[in-house]
Homo-oligomer: A and B are copies of this chain.
């Protein structure tokens, strides 16, 4: 045993870990944006997280066992962040949450395409994606021949971005 929880309800405990405005966004960016260190999360953040809050959440998520950090061999001062297995298993939660938001909230088209593909792919796609994340973050090789889900999502996003800029007229 460890901490003082408000209750032993699974949903409550999940919210104690993830129930704030930033933690899931950080995990989302590590998952779908493949951002693996502090600066990448800070400056490429769509929502503009502050550096102190990012630092706080990273240590918090590390303490909770959702991410791990290790020195990056290529850059001496860079720290490589990785998702742990529990965090990788959030893929279905994020997929459903994205699907729900896409259906009921004023999403931007180019930012919604990934949620749409993820919803359409369903559990089989999520499984492939989790295998890919295990390879990227845990070093566990995935079955040969499976195409990259991350590449597919990213390509669709970029295509949507281009189409959108084309339709609207670039500045």
| Chain A contact residues, CB within 8 Å of chain B | 1-2, 5-17, 19-21, 24-25, 28, 46-48, 86, 89-90, 92-94, 96-108, 111-112, 115
Contact = CB atoms under 8 A, between A and B. Distances in A.
Identify which of A9, A46, A97 gathers the most chain B CB atoms within 10 Å of its CB: A9
A6 B48 contact: yes
- Chain A binding surface SS class: helix
A21 B25 contact: no
Contacts of A16: 21
B100 A90 contact: yes
B98 A14 contact: yes
Q: How many copies does the complex hold?
A: 2
Contact of A10 (B9, B15, B19, B105): B105
A93 B90 contact: no
A19 B24 contact: yes
Nearest to A116: B10
A157 to B, nearest CB: 11
Given A19-B20, A89-B103, A106-B1, A28 B47 contact: no
